[in-house]
Amino acid sequence: MREILISVGVMLVCVVFLIVAQFNQPKEAIATPLQPTIEQAQLPTPMSDDATEPASTSETATPEAAVTTTDSGLQYVDLVEGTGATPRPGQTVYVHYTGTLQDGTKFDSSRDRNRPFSFRLGAGQVIRGWDEGISTMRVGGRRQLVIPPELGYGSRGVGPIPPNSTLVFDVELLRIG
């Protein structure tokens, strides 16, 4: 009987602790909105050579023109074209990245940690959208990847990423190891 009373006492202390911890949580969101996704980005209106009037529509690039969509549904935009080597399957790549949901909520960033992330390309160590999206980059390049749920975490979600989320990554290929 004594053991039961001790167990009940410990459980009550734990419950009180959890309740107090809930009341001490910040009331505002802990995630911050980041840069807009490809669909939300506003491109400046190109000007003619004399910079007095907008360029003709044949010279004006549309946002869709910059977006590449692969057969798998992965979308990407090269923000900076790299000039170095392209990684091959099995090689270790070192990247900096910031991951957001489509609404701009940041869920992870190697830049915030000031520590590059490394993985073996094509070995299934990362989500499929990363293996595919980084495999065609060049060292020094920076790319925005828009990864559909099927190439991300799918219906299971992970941590702060809800199920069936489209993910947006700003990825910079630093080097191949």
pLDDT in tens, 50-108: 444 444 433 434 445 589 999 999 999 999 999 999 999 999 999 999 999 999 999 99
* 50 flagged as catalytic: no
**Phi/psi of residue 88, each to 5°?**
-110, 155
17 is catalytic: no
Q: Is residue 153 flagged as an active site residue?
A: yes
Dihedral sign computed on CA atoms, order 81, 87, 88, 90: negative
Residue 8's pLDDT band, with cuts at 50, 70 and 90, is confident
- 94 is an active site residue: no
Angle, CA of 76, 80 and 86, to the nearest 5°: 75
pLDDT band per the 50, 70, 90 thresholds, residue 148 = very high
107 catalytically annotated? yes
Give the closest residue to 130 by CA, choosing from 173, 163, 165.
Answer: 173
In order of 122, 134, 141, 165, 176, the CA distances from 90 in angstroms are 6, 13, 19, 28, 11
Q: Are 167 and 161 in contact (CB under 8 A)?
A: yes
Check residue 133 and give its pLDDT: 98
Exactly one of 127, 134, 147, 161 is catalytic; name it: 127
